[in-house]
């Protein structure tokens, strides 16, 4: 190895590695800092519930009113950045040695992307969001044809390219530096071109702390949403009461299942559950297409896709300056961008781990378009069927039920289709399996970050993080319900958004070193 390669791992041969000094064991500055901060927050929220709820509301309002423009700007920038990379000369670079091949087939890869990235969200918001926008549009009259078009366009906007662009930035950076340059699979490694060996010091520790906190609170939000929906499903099927003690008990039970999956590891637990998820989800999607207004749904699929593409730029930069609607913007778009960013370290690292061997262009096209296609179909088939029930078949009770409690939306919707008991049972099972895959994937990622990028860590560490995620979800649910979960997500996302900007800069510098212009 030359002196240049020894001093700069970005120039090092691919067969060499440079692990962090603390790899394969606890990284105390990150592990202890995160554990202490989270446990203090959990204690404060549990003991001073009313004060915690009040403070979370104030923090949520401040972030949305003062930093909303920043979220909109950076999310747009991330999407533009990855699309440009895919089209550039850097697109042919592999995420691994030049002769490497992908570890997973396209079908398994897609199943794992879908399960970790958006599963619980689609189940919770697939009916609830289009119906809510129909009845409470940000602009215009409720329950009109324009409100229906706007409802579907906004829903696809919130679940489309922008979110997956956020994931792609983190995943691409992690995969490039880990699999092609031999650096540890941690967020700090992506900053090596900018700060060099200082990634091993306080700056690197701070970056990983932000990533872990974002992951913990992002996953906790999803777990909170998931358990509310599971409770609603059990209430519909077995008349289990919808109440906080039941939801806390469900979090405890399913966290234990997730812990067992964590013990089995990536291939033993998460891979199998991911395949089960995609099979059940595809079956439920096909049922809604056939049981609903099939011809209308296929027409809506084409029209929704066209409206989404045509309105992409306008929706991307729309802050409702001339038609002020801060409440709607903060409750929907800004919450979603914060949620996607908070999930980015977790989903990004998970995507990176299952994407070794793909080219940058193949990776970006796959991450942006494969989940998007399924999402457009899901939101269209569920959303437009629900809108048709309300506007054309007089089922306005569905809109009323959704307004009262979003978590019951899916089950109230299925009640208007054939075999509601059977489909509601399948939907409940699907929410549980999505819940488990989100929790165990998040636990594995947090464990990796707090262990300096180690792929094999002590069993107790993985169990600790899995149990802590469930505890966070339960305490925040008690302290303030969905509002507290949203606040934690958006607040934890703000500092990590800055880290992501630096990740883009570091990745670009490394790529330019690898392929300098002739």
User: What CATH number is associated with residue 195?
Assistant: 1.20.1740
pLDDT for the residue numbered 16 = 36
d(CA 326, CA 316): 16
Quote the pTM value.
Answer: 0.87
Q: Is pLDDT larger for residue 394 or for residue 262?
A: 394
d(CA 216, CA 218): 6
Q: Is the Cβ–Cβ distance between 225 and 434 less than 8 Å? A: no
Strand partners, 359: 94
Task: Identify the top-confidence range among 21-30, 87-96, 99-108.
Answer: 87-96
d(CA 126, CA 410): 8
Q: Is residue 325 part of a domain?
A: yes
Q: Is residue 353 part of a domain?
A: yes
pLDDT for the residue numbered 160 = 93
Cα angle for residues 26, 32, 38 (degrees, 5° grid): 130
How many Cβ atoms are within 10 Å of 424's Cβ, its own excluded?
21
Q: Is pLDDT larger for residue 64 or for residue 474?
A: 474
How many Cβ atoms are within 10 Å of 491's Cβ, its own excluded?
19
Residues constituting the chain: 518
Residue 3 CB partners (closer than 8 Å, separation 6+): none
Q: Is residue 494 part of a domain?
A: yes
Residue 325 CB partners (closer than 8 Å, separation 6+): 138, 139
Q: Is residue 66 part of a domain?
A: no
Q: Is residue 13 part of a domain?
A: no
The residue written with tokens 């031999």 in the block is 182
Please give the distance of CA 70 from its chain centroid, rounded to a whole number.
19
**Is 59 a residue whose pLDDT tops 90?**
no
How many domains is the chain partitioned into structurally? 1
Q: Is residue 278 part of a domain?
A: yes
Q: Which domain holds residue 352?
A: 28-60+78-514
d(CA 211, CA 432): 25
User: pLDDT averaged over the chain?
Assistant: 84
d(CA 9, CA 190): 12
pLDDT for the residue numbered 270 = 61
Q: Is the Cβ–Cβ distance between 175 and 367 less than 8 Å? A: no
Q: State mean pLDDT over 492-516.
A: 91
pLDDT for the residue numbered 365 = 94
Dihedral over alpha carbons 21, 26, 30, 31 (to 10 degrees): 180
Q: Is residue 3 part of a domain?
A: no
Residue 267 exposed, middle or buried by CB count within 10 Å (0-12, 13-18, 19+): exposed
Q: State mean pLDDT over 226-246.
A: 85
Give residue 218's pLDDT band: very low, low, confident or very high (50, 70, 90): confident
């Amino acid at each position: 190895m030359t002196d240049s390669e020894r001093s700069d791992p970005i120039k090092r041969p691919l067969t060499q590695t440079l692990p962090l000094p603390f790899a394969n064991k606890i990284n105390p500055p990150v592990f202890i800092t995160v554990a202490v901060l989270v446990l203090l927050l959990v204690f404060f929220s549990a003991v001073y519930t009313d004060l915690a709820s009040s403070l979370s509301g104030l923090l949520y309002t401040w972030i949305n009113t003062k930093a909303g423009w920043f979220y909109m700007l950076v999310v747009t920038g991330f999407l533009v950045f990855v699309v440009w990379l895919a089209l550039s000369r850097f697109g042919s670079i592999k995420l691994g040695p030049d002769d490497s091949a992908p570890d997973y087939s396209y079908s398994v890869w897609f199943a794992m992307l879908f399960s970790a990235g958006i599963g619980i969200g689609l189940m919770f918001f697939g009916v609830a969001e289009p119906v809510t926008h129909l009845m409470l549009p940000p602009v215009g009259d409720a329950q009109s044809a324009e409100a229906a078009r706007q409802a579907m366009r906004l829903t696809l906007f919130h679940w489309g390219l922008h979110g997956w662009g956020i994931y792609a930035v983190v995943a691409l950076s992690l995969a490039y530096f880990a699999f092609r340059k031999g650096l540890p699979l941690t967020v700090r490694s992506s900053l090596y071109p900018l700060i060099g060996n200082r990634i091993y010091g306080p700056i690197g520790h701070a970056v990983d702390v932000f990533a872990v906190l974002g992951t913990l609170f992002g996953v906790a939000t999803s777990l909170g949403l998931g358990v509310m929906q599971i409770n609603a499903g059990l209430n519909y099927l077995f008349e289990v009461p919808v109440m906080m003690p039941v939801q806390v008990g469900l979090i405890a039970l399913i966290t234990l299942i997730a812990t067992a999956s964590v013990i089995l590891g990536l291939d033993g637990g998460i891979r199998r559950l991911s395949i089960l998820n995609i099979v059940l989800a595809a079956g439920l999607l096909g049922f809604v297409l056939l049981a609903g207004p099939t011809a209308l749904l296929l027409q809506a699929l084409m029209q929704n896709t066209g409206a989404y593409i045509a309105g992409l730029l306008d929706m991307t930069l729309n802050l409702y300056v001339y038609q002020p609607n801060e409440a709607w913007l903060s409750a929907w778009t800004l919450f979603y961008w914060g949620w996607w960013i908070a999930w980015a370290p977790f989903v990004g690292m998970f995507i990176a781990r299952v994407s070794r061997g793909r080219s940058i262009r193949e990776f970006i096209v796959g991450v942006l378009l494969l989940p998007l296609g399924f999402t457009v179909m899901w939101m269209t088939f569920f959303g437009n069927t629900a809108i048709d029930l309300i506007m054309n078949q007089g089922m306005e009770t569905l809109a009323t039920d959704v307004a009262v409690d979003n978590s019951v939306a899916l089950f109230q919707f299925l009640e208007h289709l054939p075999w509601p008991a059977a489909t509601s049972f399948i939907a409940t099972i699907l929410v549980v399996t999505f819940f488990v895959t989100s929790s165990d994937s998040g636990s594995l990622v947090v464990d990796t970050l707090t262990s300096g990028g180690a792929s094999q860590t002590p069993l107790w560490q993985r169990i600790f993080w899995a149990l802590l995620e469930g505890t966070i979800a339960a305490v925040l649910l008690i302290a303030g319900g969905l509002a507290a979960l949203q606040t934690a997500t958006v607040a934890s996302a703000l500092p990590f958004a800055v880290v992501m900007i630096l990740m883009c800069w570091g990745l670009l510098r490394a790529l330019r070193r690898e392929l300098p212009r002739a």
